[in-house]
Structure 1
Amino acid sequence: MLYRTPRLEPLDIQVLDQINAMRDELRHAVRQAPAKWTLDLRKALTASAIAASNTIEGYRVEARDVADLMDGEREVEASDENKAETLAYQQAMTYIQSLHDAPDFRYGKGLLNALHWMLQGHHHPLKTAGQWRKTAIRITAPGDDLATDYEGPDQDLVPGLMSELVDWLNGGDLDSHVLIRAAMAHLNLVKIHPWSDGNGRMSRSLQTLLIARGGVLAPEFSSIEEWLGMPGNTWEYYKVLREVGGPVWSPERNTLPWIKFNLLAYHQQTQRVRRRVDRSNECWIQLIETADAYGVTERQTTALHEVAMVGRVRRSRYEKAEALNNQQATRDLQALTKAGLLTAVGQTKGRHYVAGPRFPQQVLATAQRPHTIVNPYAAE
């Protein structure tokens, strides 16, 4: 028996309708935007999701450093351990993104164990990866290793529970909204806790996979990990898992609070992404409109756009974004530096470029424009 999908209350249905409307608007906005910056934005969102997942698990790498690691840059401010965790999660996320439109797709134990290996294989055999745990599992309370928050089901029950979960993933509650099913998949996997380590990441990854398979938005726009990684939200995430899941495997418990929490996450993350899309689009248009005045080519606009939205650009990222060779990318960035649009920081290894004294100030102001995120349950 798994934790069951609850019946939504009227306000939950209203919030879900709002999420659907925002996601439709976001899909339209992305389709209307220039493909070049949309690709950059998708990379940035993936980097933010990975950085947030790192944070939840105690690994700290800034989103822009994650983006650089994703592009093959290794001279970033992160420990070898944090780099390894980041690259492992990128590998799994890239595979998940590629599955969004895979034909003849089915969930299976092999798929889940393979994803787990991508995430945790670099810890094997010290922490077994890609295989169900063979021991009992105890989850400690945040900040207190002696306090037990949750004890997972006996290891002998794990294979059967995972078979039940796979069957449900393929055919259970198919009339429920994809976002609800994705949240329930997350809850059941994290409570079964089938592996010796990496269960939280796998559960969040599975949630992203279900949303991506829903097909409303590109997978990069689907994850709520960035939202979950915010300090206050991370605390609430653990709190609701504790309250809904119970101290031991208790699938008879009421799961509606977990669904409400996820609906809030979906709603607020969609708001954040939409604001980011709007700012990014406006920055791109402003840069194009001022390109002639500053003597900037269209491809150089990509570098300036990266600086506006992320705060810096590296040669390696610009080179890949515009399919240039090393010499072309270097010349472009040197020209932008000479024009005062960029300022170089650091030596050859690890060098990056930030806004220079002549960088269009209205573009920076647009990129940093504040926004308000509303709580759809605030009036409850």
Structure 2
Amino acid sequence: MLFPTPVLTARDEGVLHDVESMRLALRHQVRSAPSKWTEGLRKFLTADAVAASNSIEGFKVATVDVEDLLDGERDVEVSEENREETLAYQRMMTYIQTLFDVEDFSYGKGLLNALHWMLQGHRHTVRKPAGQWRRGPVYVTDARDPSIAAYTAPDAGDVSALMGELVDWLNSDDGTHPLVRAAMAHLHLVSIHPWADGNGRMSRSLQTLMIAREGVLAPEFSSIEAWLGRPGNTWEYYRELGRRGSEYVPDQDVSSWVRFNLTAYHQQAQTVRARLERSGRVWGLLADFAAGAGVDERVVSALHDVAMAGRVRRSRYEHAESLSLQQAQRDLRDMVATQVLEPVGRTRARYYTAGPRFPQLALEVARTPMALVDPFAE
């Protein structure tokens, strides 16, 4: 048995309508914006989702470092464990991103286990098999005292049947809004806890896939994983899951879970919209600076990375502008000579940050914090 999908209140419906409106507006903004800086935003959002979802599980890698790892950089100062977890999650997310428009797509046990292998294959052991249902009990321990089981998942013998029921539900259409179904899928999977490890990230990834399959926005713009990974939201996330009880009791009202997810959808849409607008303003300011300084407009992509992410590597700039190694090195060397950029580190590990003559207005715009609105606030 799965949790019954709750009936939305008028307030819930209003928030959902606002989310739909923002997402449609975002789609228009993304399609009308120059591809150069929307591509950078896509990469940032992917890296932010990977960093955030992994951080919930204790793997701490800054978004800017995740971006470098996703770009193939080897000289990134992270532990080997964090590197492996980041790249594994990125591989799975990349595959999920390719599934958003597959015409003959369907959910299945094989698909879910394959995604789990991508995520956990590097940790596969007899005791904790990857890509296979767990063979024994599994517990979620209390963050305050690991000797206490905050949640005990269903018996291992029930997992196959429960997952069969979930797959049937995923492939059905009960008329529920796709965003609500995605939130319910997250709850179903994390509550069944079918694998020995990786259940939280798999559940969040399933939600991302279902939102992406809705088709309004590309997967990079659809995920709420970055929102869930913010410290305060992570605490609320665990508290909301904890309201379901210490055992699997699906015959209960989960309206608060849906409302929590509606808040996440709304505030993540606010965040992406603000980032998109801020990114465009920064790009425009830097383009004006480049024109006034008489430098090639291609350097704007490097300066934009510095303003928005805090740094840029030569390889990232080289690939973004399809330059030769020598061209990229020369451009960055010129920016250093004019004190627009400052080099940090040596040889392969070197990256560039804002120098004393970097356009200050662009930095101010990039660093201005935004205010989020609580859609359920009175």
User: TM class, shorter-chain normalised?
Assistant: over 0.9
User: Equivalent residues in 2 for 1:50-89 (5 A)?
Assistant: 50-89=50-89
Match in the other structure for 1:189? 189
Match in the other structure for 1:367? 366
Deviation of 1:172 after TM superposition, in Å, equals 4.1
Pick which of 191-200 and 321-330 moved more.
321-330
- Cα distance in structure 1, aligned partners of 2:215 and 2:338: 44
- Cα distance in structure 2, aligned partners of 1:349 and 1:318: 14
Instruction: Note if 1:204 corresponds to 2:204.
Output: yes
CA distances 1:276-302 after superposition (whole Å, capped 9, x unpaired): 000000111111122121222121110
Deviation of 1:26 after TM superposition, in Å, equals 1.1
- Cα distance in structure 2, aligned partners of 1:330 and 1:69: 20
- Cα distance in structure 1, aligned partners of 2:340 and 2:178: 45
Pick which of 331-340 and 149-158 moved more.
331-340
Q: Look up the SS of the partner of 1:306 in the other structure.
A: helix
Instruction: Note if 1:140 corresponds to 2:147.
Output: no
Match in the other structure for 1:321? 320
Q: CA RMSD in A?
A: 1.0
Partner amino acid, structure 1, of 2:326: Q
Long gaps (5+) in structure 2:
none
Match in the other structure for 1:280? 279
Deviation of 1:176 after TM superposition, in Å, equals 1.1
Moved over 4 A (4+): none
- Cα distance in structure 2, aligned partners of 1:232 and 1:82: 22
Partner amino acid, structure 1, of 2:351: H
After TM superposition, the score normalised by the length of structure 2 is: 0.98
Instruction: Note if 1:100 corresponds to 2:67.
Output: no
User: Equivalent residues in 2 for 1:4-15 (5 A)?
Assistant: 4-15=4-15
Partner amino acid, structure 2, of 1:323: S
CA distances 1:298-343 after superposition (whole Å, capped 9, x unpaired): 2111000111110100011111211222222111111111122111
After TM superposition, the score normalised by the length of structure 1 is: 0.98
- Cα distance in structure 1, aligned partners of 2:262 and 2:291: 45
Q: Percent identity?
A: 59
Match in the other structure for 2:357? 358
Partner amino acid, structure 1, of 2:145: D
Match in the other structure for 2:246? 247
Long gaps (5+) in structure 1:
none
- Cα distance in structure 2, aligned partners of 1:74 and 1:192: 37
Match in the other structure for 1:309? 308
Match in the other structure for 1:122? 122
Match in the other structure for 2:217? 217
Match in the other structure for 2:270? 271
- Cα distance in structure 2, aligned partners of 1:150 and 1:27: 39
Partner amino acid, structure 1, of 2:225: E
Q: Look up the SS of the partner of 2:347 in the other structure.
A: coil
- Cα distance in structure 2, aligned partners of 1:310 and 1:22: 25
- Cα distance in structure 2, aligned partners of 1:58 and 1:367: 28
- Cα distance in structure 1, aligned partners of 2:194 and 2:163: 8
CA distances 1:203-231 after superposition (whole Å, capped 9, x unpaired): 00000000000010111011111111111
Match in the other structure for 1:150? 151
Query: How many residues align structurally?
Result: 377
Pick which of 330-339 and 181-190 moved more.
330-339
Match in the other structure for 1:41? 41
CA distances 1:50-87 after superposition (whole Å, capped 9, x unpaired): 11012100011000000000000011121000000000
- Cα distance in structure 2, aligned partners of 1:314 and 1:4: 49
Q: Look up the SS of the partner of 1:171 in the other structure.
A: coil
Q: Look up the SS of the partner of 1:148 in the other structure.
A: strand
Pick which of 322-331 and 258-267 moved more.
322-331
- Cα distance in structure 2, aligned partners of 1:302 and 1:17: 36
- Cα distance in structure 1, aligned partners of 2:90 and 2:323: 24
Does the Cα contact within 8 Å between 2:291 and 2:297 map onto a contact in 1? Answer: no
Partner amino acid, structure 1, of 2:116: H
Q: Look up the SS of the partner of 2:342 in the other structure.
A: strand
Deviation of 1:91 after TM superposition, in Å, equals 0.3
Q: Look up the SS of the partner of 2:146 in the other structure.
A: strand
- Cα distance in structure 2, aligned partners of 1:353 and 1:267: 35
